Structure 1
Amino acid sequence: MSADAIPLIRLRGVTKTYGQGALAFQALKGVDLDIAQGDFVAIMGPSGSGKSTAMNTLGCLDRPTTGEYLFKGVPVQGLDRDERARLRRRYFGFVFQGFHLLPRTSAQENVELPLLYRGETTAQRHAAAQKALAAVGLNGWEHHTPAELSGGQQQRVAIARAIVSNPVVLLADEPTGNLDSQRSAEIMQLLWQLNQTQGITVLMVTHEPEMAAYARRIVHFRDGLLDSDRPNTPLPLRGSQGDGHAPALQESVAQEVQ
């Protein structure tokens, strides 16, 4: 990023304190962080380091106690709850460790939910959901309920739901925490591909170095402070995988149910 470029996200002196008086706990103690559009950042750190608080702040789920948060150059910390909600709906998608899918609802209907809240027509919702499911390799699985899908497939549905509204930023909190190593690698390949092909900025909290290896950049929190920030060559670009392309998603999905 050039010196004159405005980062997509900028934190300056951000603190976050929970509670008051003798019970106050300072989760963030003055964080400076710039994130460029199109970046893929892994956020790491031990329990209590502040990484989850930083993620909640970046996703506008919480506001700083002090300091400045700029999104596209616009101050976020002064927005009220409704304004932050509108910002999230327009610019952010969220993926969590738990898939948070409605159990008796089809994959397509789960993916359509964010568009329903935005008031889009039935036809618009159907078309967008089918496109998002295709992007995560789930063509033909639109009408299956979560109980009929593997864990990896359920997380793909959750990712499709997160990207159906064409977010600028995808925030993933331990997205592989409930998956085995093979499914974890497939989900990470998918996130990497979405970053590469669609230019979605990915911010991912993880405690697993194997998952962080897919990011372009790894930031490490410790005791409420940004302890380190280093560039990384993403795993799909290394060694024998240097062709720069993730495996065919439809093929990997088919393997999940064999």
Structure 2
Amino acid sequence: MTQAPTQDSGGMPLIRLRNIIKVYGEGGLAFKALKGFDLDIDQGDFVAIMGPSGSGKSTAMNTLGCLDRPTSGEYLFKGVHVEDLDRDERARLRRRYFGFVFQGFHLLPRTTAQENVELPLLYRGETATQRHAAAARALDAVGLKGWEHHTPSELSGGQQQRVAIARAIVSNPVVLLADEPTGNLDTQRSEEIMELLWKLNHEQGITVLMVTHEPEMAAYARRIVRFKDGLLDTDMRNEPMMLRQKTASAEAVNGEDA
């Protein structure tokens, strides 16, 4: 990498995007998916990214996750210009700082939960002992202690998504990117996954960026960003669902004591 991100980037936000434009194709077939937007994300934030189909939210997520590079504009991560990095440098950045969770769980079907979680560490060249210990901690963190040796076919949809989240956090990422993480789950399992994402954000300080089309899921975020026609339409702070529930519980208790 041309310049390694530093822990102290002079008071700048963790992520800073400026005039981000993304164009697919050329000439008369060119399509401008992103038309120029600015966005700052601080360490420890929880941002829900919303918008209708074709609004640019998925392209914005791919840009934030260094999976794609903008056609023009600036992307600074910990003060480093990501748009100047080549493919290999972006891959190293992703391995070190980012974890990914997708709507499809993308688990290896004949591989145990523990082995699935260990994969990112295998790619980083860590020893078997290190991988086993880290995977066990990650599975414990998502509530799957005791399920290490089960394959995906032996797990529910919610449990499979928990394995996918454990795999995303096993390398201690700074940022967790979740693309429709509850899209394949029923209401109860969706709420369990959102409570888990909140816990990772609230207790471990992991910055969470989540694409969702469901307002009920976005309600868990600290911020809700909406895209429309390739532009950032609104960016609003939100009182997260978990804090609202805690406040309501405290008020109920105080009411009973009165």
The answer, yes or no, to whether TM exceeds 0.5 is: yes
What is residue 127 of structure 1 aligned with on the other side?
A: 133
Contact 1:237 1:243 in 2 (8 A): no
Give the gaps of 5 or more residues in structure 1: 245-258
User: Is there any run of 5+ residues in structure 2 with no aligned partner, and where?
Assistant: 1-9, 251-258
- Which amino acid letter does the alignment assign opposite residue 38 of structure 1? G
Percent identity reads 82
* Equivalent-residue separation in structure 2 for 1:78 and 1:20 (angstroms): 21
Are the counterparts in 2 of residues 17 and 25 from structure 1 also a CA contact under 8 Å?
A: yes
Partner residue, 2:6: none
- Give CA deviations for 1:30-80 in whole Å, capped at 9, x if unaligned: 010000000000000000000000000000000000000000011000100
Question: 2: distance between equivalents of 1:202 and 1:240?
Answer: 21
| Match runs of 1:143-222 below 5 Å | 143-222=149-228
Letter in 1 for 2:222: R
Q: Indicate the SS of the match to 2:197.
A: helix
Change (3 A) 1:66 1:106: same
SS of equivalent residue, structure 1 residue 144:
coil
TM-superposed CA distance for 1:111, in Å, is: 0.0
Give 1:104 deviation, angstroms.
0.3
User: What are the residue-to-residue correspondences of 1:1-258 with 2, within 5 Å?
Assistant: 5-239=11-245
Q: TM-score, normalised by structure 1?
A: 0.92
SS of equivalent residue, structure 1 residue 238? helix
Aligned length: 241
Aligned-partner Cα distance in 2 for 1:61–1:54: 10
Deviations along 1:163-214, whole A, 9 cap, x unmatched?
0000000000000000000000000000000001110000000000000000
Match of 1:133, SS? helix
User: What displacement does 1:5 show?
Assistant: 2.5
Structure 2 CA distance for partners of 1:37 and 1:28, relative to 1, 3 Å: same
TM-score of the aligned structures, taking structure 2 as reference length: 0.92
SS in 2 for 1:230: strand
Aligned equivalent of 1:248 = none
Q: Is the 8 A contact 1:236 1:242 kept in 2?
A: no
Q: What CA distance in whole angstroms lies between the structure 2 residues aligned with 1:93 and 1:145?
A: 22
CA RMSD of aligned residues (A): 1.2
- Cα distance per residue 1:198-247 (max 9 Å; x no partner): 10000000000000000000000000000000000000111456579xxx
